[in-house]
Amino acid sequence: MLAAVLREFGTPLRAEQIDQPVAGAGQVLVRVVASGVNPLDTKIQAGKAPHARIELPAVLGLDLAGVVAALGPEVTGFELGDEVYGLTGGVGDLQGSLAEYAAVDARLLARKPRTLSMRAAAALPLAVITSWEGLVDRAGVRAGQKVLVHGGAGGVGHVGVQLALARGAEVYATGAPASMGVIESLGAVPIDYTSTSVEEYVGRYTASEGFDIIADNVGGATLDASFAAVRTYHGHVVSALGWGSHSLAPLSFRGATYSGVFTLLPMLTGHGREHHGEILREAATLADAGALRPRLDPRRFTLDTVMDAHALVAGATSAGKVIVEIVDIDG
């Protein structure tokens, strides 16, 4: 089969022929139709993501959407021809989605939302699992709460905004001036972090009480700001980028709590993979109800132009999720 292979960190992915995998026990062989490109994919390729360990040579690609081509022993819940999506590989010893076929753990898959194209479905897995683990699993987002999403127009952030709204929360989101229209179109109140201080927006939107939940998708100083903007006693901060050294004093003095999210953990350890499938099934229900729609960059890429897709994502100039089409598709 044809796949984009990384042989040395920091070198380009190159399309070449490799052996097609066979579905083992508990695995599904997926004919990959589309692969979503995340900033993490570009960092792995560059050798700048030690937390996402991988052995070379490797096929990268975290997100996929495709069609079930074969079922391994002990697999239930799927049939040949099912359209599926998932966060299935590209880290550890799991083959990624930049290939014509991938043998993936069935627990990491769910049936694709009926109302989404393959391109759109491939845009969701990492973003929706990260947002769900933070907002739902850790923070228990619900109606009546005020939620602040940092980076609300970004790949993870725009999904988190929609997820919080779908669960009845009142949602606010930070972003640069150019992203204010996107955030507003999602249904959240936009906050220009370049012209509004933490104290100002906490005062304006929460009467200085603080937000019930803050989802940090930026890290660094933004996570520090979250500790100062969360609600006293009952507030909760969640972050997928809490990797630096941070003072917990502002959080502690507010009596609030913090949770970290490491979305790759089940893929790297093998533990908890069932929950990824559960989240994706819930997300498919939301998408089919019209409550979850990914933003897609309109530009089209293939295995032969995968490094152009990586460059677009690494340069932070995309207008939505960048998708590599493994086969020629529409929509």
What span, in angstroms and rounded, lies between the C-alpha atoms of 118 and 112?
Answer: 8
Beta strands across the sheet bearing 2-6: 14-17, 2-6, 58-59
Q: What are phi and psi of 219, to 5 degrees?
A: 85, -175
Pair 286, 263: CB distance under 8 Å: no
pLDDT at 331: 45
Residue-range domain boundaries for the chain: 2-124+266-325, 127-260
**Tokens representing residue 272 in the block:** 């908890």
CATH fold of 127-260 reads Rossmann fold (3.40.50)
What is the predicted pLDDT for the residue at 330?
Answer: 59
Give every CB contact of residue 191 below 8 A, 6+ residues apart in sequence: 148, 172, 173, 174, 175, 201, 205
Structure confidence at residue 31 (pLDDT): 98
**Topology of the domain comprising 2-124+266-325:** Quinone Oxidoreductase; Chain A, domain 1 (3.90.180)
What pLDDT does residue 299 have? 96
pLDDT under 50: residue ranges of the chain = 331
